[in-house]
Structure 1
Amino acid sequence: MVKQNQSTISFLLLLLLPLLLILAISTEVEGANKLFVFGDSYVDTGNFHNSGSYKPPSGMTYPGAPAGRFCDGRVLTDYIASFLKIDPPTPYSLKNSSNFQNGINFAYGGTGFFQTLVDGPNVSVQISSFEQQIQQNVYNKSDLETSLVLVNSGANDYTTFALKNMSFLEIEKFTESLVKEVVVNLRRIQSLGAEKITLTLLQPIGCLPTISVATGFQNCIDLLNLVSTNHNKLILQNVDDLNKELGKSVFKTLDLYNSFLSTIQTMQKSHAENSTLMNPLEPCCAKDSAGFNCGKVDDKGQKRYTLCEKPELSFFWDNVHPSQNGWNSVYTQLESSLGQLI
């Protein structure tokens, strides 16, 4: 009778084993579904309240009204969250005790690794806020080990350098100092317990409308794109060194440079073949007069900007930020490589 019971139990265990494995896998996936974000306006989803991200026409495509994104709709954070099958993490400035389940977004538009022209928390200060949450036991060791950390910053540091120095003569030395600061911040995030840290490579800054306007939005400025490629080369070297030092691939990179460039080149070709399609280097939201300033209004509250007819066909929303369509196109380029991040 005992042997018969043992046989029955063994048989039931065999039947239950696939279910137990499924539950274990589900638990593991659920544990990985948090996203912690650091950086600037490319990933900020609502931390910079006194900015154009909370004024029309921002958010006109999604969610239909200004909501803290420097875009007409979704930004990179939204697409990474969708890949993880979670809602975008709550902006730090909007956090409360009930909305921590998807992580937190500490990114703040206009900031960098160093102090920039925007009076906001740089990446180091953002990490301090993250550390505070850990010290308050909002997130535990398992959360940190299994969640994805996304860091996007650097372009505003170069802008600040250029405006302060009015030249790029010492740019190589600045790149070296900036990358050293990047490494300091990456090490710090890892020291807090994070095991999956992704750093974006710098976008081709010579293609931003604020730069390409010099060519009538016809071409990227290759000399400034060289700043991005040199920055990215040094980043890749340092990320490789960090992983070798740790003996495991904690740090990964996301190639915004080539995904931007590839999308822009494809759209330029389409525009050349069909002039009714939008020039990807031209911003959708622009000022009526010389230059452009998306969202500008005069003293009487009258709009001092124009909007393209179809934002859904644009790549750039304003002078530096991709539109939702632009970000979606970039995400499509990156999607096949996102699996290796988690």
Structure 2
Amino acid sequence: MDSHNQLFSLSSLSLVLLLLSGHMELQLVEGRWQRHEKNYSPKMLFVFGDSYVDTGNTRMTDQPGSWKNPYGLTFPGKPAGRFSNGRVLTDYIAEYLGLKSPAPYKFRKLMQQKLENGMNFAYGGTGVFDTFSQNPNMTIQIDFFNQLIKENVYTTSDLYDSVAYVSVSGNDYAFYSIRNGSFEGFPAFIGSVVSQTVTNLVRIQRLGVRKIVVGGLHPTGCVPASTASYSYQQCNSTFNDLALLHNNLLNQAVTKLNRQSKDNSTFVVVDLYDSFMSVLNHPSTNNIKEPFKPCCVGVGREYNCGSVENNVNKYTVCESPTSAFFWDLLHPSQAGWHAVYNKLQKMSALRQLRY
């Protein structure tokens, strides 16, 4: 046997042993068999959505906004584009996968060394449709992703060993309400939002991403903007019912997608509703002292957290951001996101990210 054939035989034997041992499987990708290790952590994370996962794409000129004080007060100690006093859900999902938070799309040319972790295309204030924000909706965010693939920034192999996280946090519904949408028409509109979300998930899959995760809608009736009329003491049950309808339709649609997929776990729903409620209903067990009251609030109804007028801050910040679940009227604090993340780790959906 010549050396070339001997090397080939040894390599083949090693591959067979790995397959038999259960640590590796072969999968057909674009007509070619590829090795795939079981229980392998994805090497990249791609993020699409809104302010719940945005880590810096939103414009610095927005006022007030995530690039203004006191955002980023806890981490990294200054405003860094996150809609919180510190880390957001994106950061914790990346940590779970053993990755660094992917670079914001806006800074892709300035952060070349971080592109190996994936990319974050999320923009605050956006939805699956156009909203009050001038930032790109999710369809356009996926267009950005597609363009990078065409430019060979990410290869087929990169995409195959990656996870996409999709955040839909209710901006479409807020916009619908502001535009005087009828309450009677809400269920039908929720159906259209879920339908477009599913279209987005399938499109991401067809671009080559193997695992696509979508966050269920959190209890929107429990954010401070909803609980303010109840003196921050209880949730708005009507808004929560609408969130549950969204989640029910989303779960049904994702179940159907997986039945149609060759891999019945391609699409995963992360239950943010139950994880939020678990923390809000038992705040003390998560070191949360203020479950509904925002830490940062505007002075008067016309101002929001971060508002400044004539060089004077028009907001107040609580004494202990680390014990408040919500940072402002809409967004969890770092402590809130960390508590939610701890709950998510105990759910099977998050464990599916490590395929």
TM-score by length of 2: 0.85
2:49 is aligned, of 29, 33, 39, to: 39
Deviations, residues 311-332 of structure 1 (Å, cap 9, x unaligned): 0000000000000000000000
1:78 is aligned, of 91, 101, 106, to: 91
1:266 is aligned, of 260, 282, 299, to: 282
Indicate conservation of the 8 Å contact 1:31/1:143, yes or no.
Answer: no
User: How far 1:165 moved relative to its partner?
Assistant: 1.5
1:308 is aligned, of 299, 318, 322, to: 318
Indicate conservation of the 8 Å contact 1:268/1:279, yes or no.
Answer: no
SS state at 2:90 partner? helix
- Output the amino acid matched with 2:312: Q
User: How far 1:88 moved relative to its partner?
Assistant: 0.2
1:253 is aligned, of 244, 266, 269, to: 269
C-alpha distance in 1, partners of 2:181/2:260?
38
Instruction: State how many pairs are aligned.
Output: 323
- Output the amino acid matched with 2:274: N
TM-score by length of 1: 0.88
- Output the amino acid matched with 2:44: K
- Output the amino acid matched with 1:79: Y
User: How far 1:154 moved relative to its partner?
Assistant: 4.2
SS state at 1:54 partner? coil
C-alpha distance in 2, partners of 1:270/1:123?
33
C-alpha distance in 2, partners of 1:133/1:178?
26
1:280 is aligned, of 287, 291, 298, to: 291
- Output the amino acid matched with 2:335: N
Which 10-residue stretch deviates more, 42-51 or 310-319? Answer: 42-51
Indicate conservation of the 8 Å contact 2:167/2:215, yes or no.
Answer: yes
Which residue pairs with 2:104 in the alignment?
91
C-alpha distance in 2, partners of 1:251/1:291?
41
SS state at 1:312 partner? helix
C-alpha distance in 1, partners of 2:134/2:253?
29
Identity within the alignment, % = 44
C-alpha distance in 2, partners of 1:296/1:285?
11
Which residue pairs with 1:339 in the alignment?
351
Indicate conservation of the 8 Å contact 1:283/1:316, yes or no.
Answer: yes
C-alpha distance in 2, partners of 1:295/1:114?
27
Deviations, residues 254-274 of structure 1 (Å, cap 9, x unaligned): 111111111011117999xxx
Taking structure 1 as reference, are residues 61 and 269 closer, same or farther at Cα in structure 2, changes over 3 Å only? closer
User: How far 1:187 moved relative to its partner?
Assistant: 1.1
- Output the amino acid matched with 2:51: S
Which 10-residue stretch deviates more, 288-297 or 219-228? Answer: 288-297
User: How far 1:85 moved relative to its partner?
Assistant: 1.3
- Output the amino acid matched with 1:331: Y
Higher percent of residues as strand: 2
Question: Is residue 167 of structure 2 the alignment partner of residue 152 of structure 1?
Answer: yes
* Structure 1 moving runs of 4+ over 3 Å: 27-31, 268-271
SS state at 2:113 partner? coil
Indicate conservation of the 8 Å contact 2:169/2:218, yes or no.
Answer: no
Question: Is residue 201 of structure 2 the alignment partner of residue 186 of structure 1?
Answer: yes
Which residue pairs with 1:60 in the alignment?
73
Map 1:108-187; keep pairs closer than 5 Å.
108-165=123-180, 167-187=182-202
C-alpha distance in 2, partners of 1:267/1:292?
28
Map 1:234-245; keep pairs closer than 5 Å.
234-245=249-260
Indicate conservation of the 8 Å contact 2:303/2:314, yes or no.
Answer: no
Question: Is residue 337 of structure 2 the alignment partner of residue 322 of structure 1?
Answer: no
Which 10-residue stretch deviates more, 55-64 or 132-141? Answer: 132-141
C-alpha distance in 1, partners of 2:163/2:286?
36
RMSD (Å) for aligned C-alpha atoms: 2.6
Taking structure 1 as reference, are residues 269 and 328 closer, same or farther at Cα in structure 2, changes over 3 Å only? closer
Higher percent of residues as helix: 1
Which 10-residue stretch deviates more, 36-45 or 259-268? Answer: 259-268
Indicate conservation of the 8 Å contact 1:268/1:280, yes or no.
Answer: no
Deviations, residues 149-196 of structure 1 (Å, cap 9, x unaligned): 000014100000011025422101101111111111111111111110
